Chains A and B, each alone.
Chain A
């Protein structure tokens, strides 16, 4: 049972400090959304995201997951903006009351490329960073351990609860419950299963918090970690440098009147 999409390919991207990757991702997103020119996204894709994807050796999984997320959004975006963009004058295709304008397509391209950058950068982070490592790295930098726990345990517990739901369903089927039939009938059958599942979750939460406290989760001691978080002086510098450079890239064109 795999609870995360993380794939351990052991590349140099995988071995970066999770916070370095998080900062890089945020900088990319801020740059492409702050600068109002479409080719910036293309440039970021070409010089940062695609090379990183190649180095990480996760390209195939990255494209598959991103395509699933992006395709529906992009299709809707191009259709809607192509047809209804308010400033649309240059008609490309006309079909009855529908007119596709080049301004509309241009606008859709700008937004679409930004979304592509956003999704690719975030999925790449998730693919190359174990959520546990990200949480450890953030807690080590002062993020509340309770917050970190909520996130990482949710990621792990979802599949565990899915398994339990399946187990309850199997138990009911073993007692002669049939889950075939119309969708409405299936929903009716599933309803009583929610009871044991949710009740189980509540007693579990109590039990879990007892177990967590028993292991010092409420302790005020300064936490340590068994597995060291990888880091280097280059990365420490770049975690400061990347936001600075991004800021400059955004501010300078405006200040000099280039945009």
Chain B
């Protein structure tokens, strides 16, 4: 579905590449989480997958990027954006400034693509329900809180129903309930066959919802695989990713002589309960 092969990229007028030899292979209808510290190149990679690099930003891109077998470099930008949706990192900048209510703001992309009015109304109503935006529909997008703006930004991309959705830290301004809601929506989208690539720091939610995790560090993908394995990887600290609170609790317990001999640290609540139950039983 989404394939990157040996992708390297340097921004215009820079020598050092930001990404080197990045390869990914993400199947249809999966949620792929990509982890990476600040400055690791998450936003850059998101723009490459969505075709904005090199279409808009320029710079030196090598390797191949394809979505559904179609090379993104061969497409016009207008064509590329109808296949891959991109939720940019800063929700304030995602607001078009061209529309005066949240309802119209969400419909803005549909208007540009020439979707008929009745279908637009249905689709806007649908995403508003999905993301609990009903009460905000008649407000100005500029009068919303950062978190509310972020939900509107997400809604305005989901409503386009692109087969692929790339999201650059889409829950950075949301409270825990809002974050969970967004992840639940992503699971719903996956059920509809949509492929989601999410750049995110919230490890526990990624563990619950993602089908596969990648770690972006040292300009490349340094680990890829099942979320449980990736989150238990001993190198996460080196990559500045951190670990789930369950892993941290287990590690702290080990320092005090508990959980001796445990090889695989827990990454989720269930695993932590199991590990501590075993340990308690062993005493």
Contacts and interface: CB of A to CB of B under 8 A. Distances in A.
28 contacts: A1-B140, A3-B142, A135-B98, A152-B97, A159-B142, A204-B90, A204-B93, A208-B97, A209-B56, A210-B86, A213-B52, A213-B78, A213-B81, A214-B81, A214-B85, A214-B109, A214-B157, A216-B109, A216-B113, A216-B160, A221-B114, A223-B112, A223-B114, A224-B110, A224-B116, A224-B117, A226-B110, A228-B117
B142 A225 contact: no
B5 interface: no
A93 interface: no
A156 B100 CA distance: 9
B93 A211 contact: yes
A207 B50 CA distance: 14
* 10 closest Cβ pairs, A-B complex: A215-B109, A153-B97, A221-B114, A216-B112, A226-B107, A207-B93, A132-B100, A211-B94, A214-B86, A216-B113
Interface in B88-124: 88, 90, 92-94, 96-100, 103-104, 107-117, 120-121, 124
Interface of B: 47, 50, 52, 56, 77-78, 81-82, 85-86, 88, 90, 92-94, 96-100, 103-104, 107-117, 120-121, 124, 140, 142-143, 153, 156-157, 160
A106 interface: no
Interface in A139-197: 145, 148-149, 152-153, 156-157, 159-160
B142 A156 contact: yes
A219 B90 contact: no
Contacts of B86: 210-211, 214
Contacts of A217: 96, 112
Contact of B88 (A148, A153, A214, A222): A214
Contacts of A208: 93, 97
A148 B81 contact: no
Nearest to B55: A213
Contact of A218 (B78, B110, B143): B78
Contact of A215 (B47, B56, B92, B160): B160
A157 B97 CA distance: 7
Interface in A117-138: 130-132, 135
Given A135-B98, A211-B96, A1 B143 contact: yes
Interface residues of A, number: 38
A220 interface: yes
A58 B157 CA distance: 38
A227 interface: yes
Interface in A217-246: 217-228
A130 B104 CA distance: 13
Contact of A214 (B50, B115, B117, B142): B50
Nearest to A211: B94
Interface centre among B78, B94, B97 (most CB of A within 10 A): B97
Nearest to B84: A214
A132 B100 CA distance: 7
B83 to A, nearest CB: 11
Contacts of A131: 100
A216 B84 CA distance: 11
A225 B118 CA distance: 10
